[in-house]
Structure 1
Amino acid sequence: MTTTILIEGGTVIDGITDTPRANESVLIDDGVITAIGAHADALAHGRTDVERIVAQGRTVMPGLIDAHTHLSFGEPTGNDELFFHRTEAFSAMLSARNARKVLRAGVTSVLDADCLWNIGVELRDAIEANVVEGPRMAAGGNALMTMLGGTAGRLIADEGRTGYATVVHNLEGISQEVRRQVKYGVDWIKVMVTGLIPSVKGPEVKVWNKAEMRAVVDAAHDLSTPVVGHCRNSLSTKEAAEAGMDLIYHASYMDDDALEAVIANGTALCPTFTLLGNLYDYGERVGTNPDLLNVFKAELEVTGRAIGKAKESGVRVIAGSETGFAITPIGEWHARELEMLVEYAGFTPMEAIKAATSEAAWVMKMDGRLGAVAPGCAADVIVVDGDPLRDIKVLAREGAITEVIKAGRRIDITTPIPDRGPRPGEKVAFLATCPLTRSFALEDTNLAPKDVLTDQELSDLAKA
């Protein structure tokens, strides 16, 4: 049964133009926006079958599109927990729960480019079949890695699949894995172009050569499948763009040469500042190594300036939060990416909104049909109690999103989702959190059971 909805009296930010329109009505019928303004009012006039939403004093805008999520990850504190303490069945059920939380946060579409097992594709299909409630999904499979691994270093096995990654060894193997993933339903192929090598000091290094990257792109594009690359330095960004990758995550420390390659090849960028911002702003509260905080800040500032320059040069820049880790839990931080684009890349609030709506519809393969409040577009709409053009942070304020409509259907955002408890064996168990030296064991500290020590306090005691 379809529902006709009239949203009345709100200020419409359509996601396309630069000017909001006050006191504008939006008519939704059969999952599609059919009319705006006076035409919407005229079509709804006198009808008794129209469900009306009064939005006076509020903002009506497209549902957000988060182009970098990890719904199957389950908010792990580290890769050991993610790779070795989960089962496929439990992870699938957890992903279904996460999908509901994302939708309630006003995110009506996501690109989930890599996943545990093949859960992303299965979750997408379950949502489309109305088995699970969640956002529209563009889904990837396992991220492609070389034997050198990615951000998990030596935790990645030399062969086969580990967690969210599959290791490929040669050009033929690359093509075979791309074809296998397309066969099983992926919308995107993801490549971990950079990674951490334990024997190499410093940040991530490029672990794919040009021929290997080109092989991924050729195999995927032959099957009409786009490619996204994880690139945490400038050289990787440059070579991924030159290889023809469609989208680049992070683009960390992008220099002018890399930007020229991005522009020349029509590559889009998704900087994913939220994870870095959360680590810098709140890392001390969650036990992040203090020595890393200034590293995160520097990457934000340098990359932010480069992303701003890319935007001014006409590069498509879209929003993605990298939600799914302990530092970016599901349903909590999606809208912060818009704040970060304003703060670090010099976007206006309207530009940031477009980066999370009409500009990002492309990753869903619905460019021009999604991410906009306009006749003929999919009826994915949110109503916000506040004005994000005056304060972009309102989108992340608890309770500010008062309505979420996906495909023309109002989503229940008031009934609580029960808090998740721990599953036995899911978390890494420690025999000790620091070495039990004799001096520590025999020290007359008289610690009460209720005392909680910081990492620094534990270190000081261990050295006593």
Structure 2
Amino acid sequence: MIEGGTVLDGSGAPPVPGEVICRGDEIIAVGSGSATAGPEGSAGFHERELGSATRVDATGCTVMPGLIDAHCHLTFDEPRSNDELFFHRDHTLAALATAHHLPKLLMAGVTSVADPDTIFRMGPAIRDAVEAGWIEGPRITTGVAALLTAVGGTAGRLIPDEGEVGYAEVVRTTDEMVLATRRQIKEGADFVKIHATGSIPTRSGELQVWTRQEMRVVCDTAHDLGVPVAAHCRNASSTRDAALAGVDIIYHASFMDEEALEAVVESGADLCPVFTFLSNLCDHGPEVGAGTNMVDVFRGEIAATAEMVRRAHDAGVRLLCGSESGFVLTPYGHWHAREVELFVEHLDLSPLEAIRCATANNAHAVHAADELGVLSVGRRADVLVVQGDVASDVSLLGDRRNLRAVLSRGVPVDLQRAWPTRDPLPGSRVGNWAERPLTWDLVNP
């Protein structure tokens, strides 16, 4: 029983004083005092019925649903570059690294996560290991590998013309797209991801590298088997065509224009803009040695995208919060809640609206809209107790020192243990020989 706090239920409703009572992995009551709403509308619970309950004093705290991260890369192990991610990973060590990192999410208040693409196709195995209790971690909804054309994705020329590397599976024809989609679903994919845009060194920005018809082939194949589709779209045309093709979740939706916005609104697709990675590089990249050449570009992308995403929100499009945790600029357990802050800052959402995006809305991203994301009777017992008034200051969520309690599946997470640390795995990190060429003129000025 969590008592004495202010209940922010995640639905967007104003917070109210009250208690939350859980039995195992189920919320059985939410309310205030003797009027606490119990199962089937019962008047409340007698004290003798709660005598054996573990009590959590939430005085001065906000009681709210566990955070859900709609875009996280659990198996990437925080690479510093695409080269490192694609060519410096080992199957066994990657699985062990993932198991090492997963508890960090729980310790940061993240109780569920959507992972769209995984290296070595290991997503379903990691998900199942967590559910079976082999390793500790949040609830996981996962893809297998990102589907790419031979043009590649954000890694450009590092991607081969065929086959698989890292998290990428290259498909060259519509027949291969159908086969790959069916195979991923057979392997246990909860959704299929398309990398609809990619990079070419001689061109600025990302280009659309899938046709609308190709995306429709994947969507039709997956939907026939009851599996949704997500797409990485970092330009206007890809966002438009993904929506028209039937994609269910559009990641990034960068630089949307009027035509793309109209397609998204009419299609009913969800948008997950993923501002956190871009903002971390812009605001803090130089502090950790990141290059500054992309700062102005990313600031422009955030501004242009935010304007259109806000309009999509106003038109009724469901927005999702995703951190893209798993890279060196978004390490596990540190930045999952920043997207909530950025929704308030860049989209001008109210704190309650932004929190809803990270809870009730994100429950749709993990296929659990009726089970997670809202504190109500019959839902799963994923609950946070956060020191302070989160409805007034969403930045409180980003500092895990404010977490007084985290329930995952109704079980308290150990927040007193040391933060998981380890030494780098041999060969897993890429070091530069130098930051600039050693020219004769440099040595002999």
Q: How does 1:394-405 map to 2 (within 5 A)?
A: 394-405=396-407
SS in 1 for 2:194: strand
Q: Distance in 2 between matches of 1:196 and 1:294?
A: 18
Percent identical across equivalent pairs? 46
Correspondence for 1:438: 440
Correspondence for 1:3: none
Could you list the per-position Cα deviations for residues 120-175 of structure 1 after superposition, in whole angstroms to 9, with x for gaps in the alignment?
11110011001111110001011000000000001001111011000001111000
Could you list the per-position Cα deviations for residues 440-464 of structure 1 after superposition, in whole angstroms to 9, with x for gaps in the alignment?
33x4xxxxxxxxxxxxxxxxxxxx4
Deviation at 1:294, TM superposition (A): 1.2
SS in 2 for 1:70: coil
Correspondence for 2:142: 139
Correspondence for 2:41: none
Deviation at 1:17, TM superposition (A): 4.1
Counterpart residue type for residue 140 of structure 1: G
1:172 lines up with 2:175 in the alignment? yes
Question: Could you tell me which of 39, 43, 49 is aligned with 2:36?
Answer: 39
Q: Distance in 2 between matches of 1:290 and 1:415?
A: 37
Deviation at 1:292, TM superposition (A): 1.6
Conserved 8 A contact 1:274-1:322: yes
Q: Distance in 1 between matches of 2:441 and 2:12?
A: 68
Deviation at 1:288, TM superposition (A): 3.0
Conserved 8 A contact 2:383-2:406: yes
Correspondence for 1:455: none
Question: Could you tell me which of 194, 197, 220 is aligned with 1:191?
Answer: 194
1:383 lines up with 2:385 in the alignment? yes
- Name the Cα RMSD after superposition: 1.3
Q: How does 1:261-340 map to 2 (within 5 A)?
A: 261-340=263-342
Q: Distance in 2 between matches of 1:247 and 1:400?
A: 31
Quickly say closer, same or farther: Cα 1:125–1:25, change in 2 above 3 A: same
1:16 lines up with 2:11 in the alignment? yes
Q: Distance in 1 between matches of 2:430 and 2:320?
A: 35
Q: Distance in 2 between matches of 1:44 and 1:207?
A: 62
Deviation at 1:439, TM superposition (A): 2.9
Conserved 8 A contact 1:68-1:113: yes
SS in 2 for 1:404: strand
Counterpart residue type for residue 168 of structure 2: A
1:30 lines up with 2:24 in the alignment? yes
1:82 lines up with 2:72 in the alignment? no
Q: Distance in 2 between matches of 1:226 and 1:39?
A: 38
Moved more, 372-381 or 45-54: 45-54
Deviation at 1:368, TM superposition (A): 2.1
Correspondence for 1:356: 358
Conserved 8 A contact 1:306-1:345: no
Counterpart residue type for residue 21 of structure 2: L
Correspondence for 1:454: none
Tell me how many residue pairs correspond in the alignment.
436
4+ residue segments displaced more than 6 Å: none
1:231 lines up with 2:226 in the alignment? no
1:113 lines up with 2:125 in the alignment? no
Deviation at 1:438, TM superposition (A): 2.2
Counterpart residue type for residue 257 of structure 2: D
Correspondence for 1:163: 166
TM-score by length of 1: 0.92
Conserved 8 A contact 1:26-1:40: no
Deviation at 1:77, TM superposition (A): 0.5
Q: How does 1:53-92 map to 2 (within 5 A)?
A: 53-92=56-95
Deviation at 1:436, TM superposition (A): 2.0
SS in 2 for 1:172: helix
Correspondence for 1:373: 375
Q: Distance in 2 between matches of 1:423 and 1:113?
A: 24
Could you list the per-position Cα deviations for residues 418-440 of structure 1 after superposition, in whole angstroms to 9, with x for gaps in the alignment?
42211221112433332222233
Conserved 8 A contact 2:385-2:403: yes
Deviation at 1:97, TM superposition (A): 1.4
User: Gapped runs of 5+ residues in structure 1?
Assistant: 1-5, 444-463
Counterpart residue type for residue 410 of structure 1: P
Q: Distance in 1 between matches of 2:263 and 2:37?
A: 45
Q: Distance in 1 between matches of 2:6 and 2:351?
A: 15
Q: Distance in 2 between matches of 1:422 and 1:368?
A: 40
Conserved 8 A contact 1:116-1:142: yes
1:103 lines up with 2:106 in the alignment? yes
Counterpart residue type for residue 66 of structure 2: G
Q: Distance in 1 between matches of 2:124 and 2:161?
A: 25
Conserved 8 A contact 2:27-2:381: yes
Q: Distance in 1 between matches of 2:252 and 2:382?
A: 27
SS in 1 for 2:118: coil
Question: Could you tell me which of 423, 429, 432 is aligned with 1:421?
Answer: 423
Conserved 8 A contact 1:8-1:52: yes
Deviation at 1:40, TM superposition (A): 6.2
Correspondence for 1:94: 97
User: Gapped runs of 5+ residues in structure 2?
Assistant: 39-43
Q: Distance in 1 between matches of 2:409 and 2:232?
A: 31
Moved more, 410-419 or 37-46: 37-46
Question: Could you tell me which of 387, 390, 410 is aligned with 2:412?
Answer: 410
SS in 2 for 1:65: strand
SS in 2 for 1:399: helix
Could you list the per-position Cα deviations for residues 174-218 of structure 1 after superposition, in whole angstroms to 9, with x for gaps in the alignment?
00000110010010100000000123x210010001111111101
Q: Distance in 2 between matches of 1:33 and 1:18?
A: 18
Q: Distance in 1 between matches of 2:77 and 2:260?
A: 34
Correspondence for 1:449: none
Conserved 8 A contact 2:274-2:324: yes
1:257 lines up with 2:259 in the alignment? yes
SS in 1 for 2:36: helix
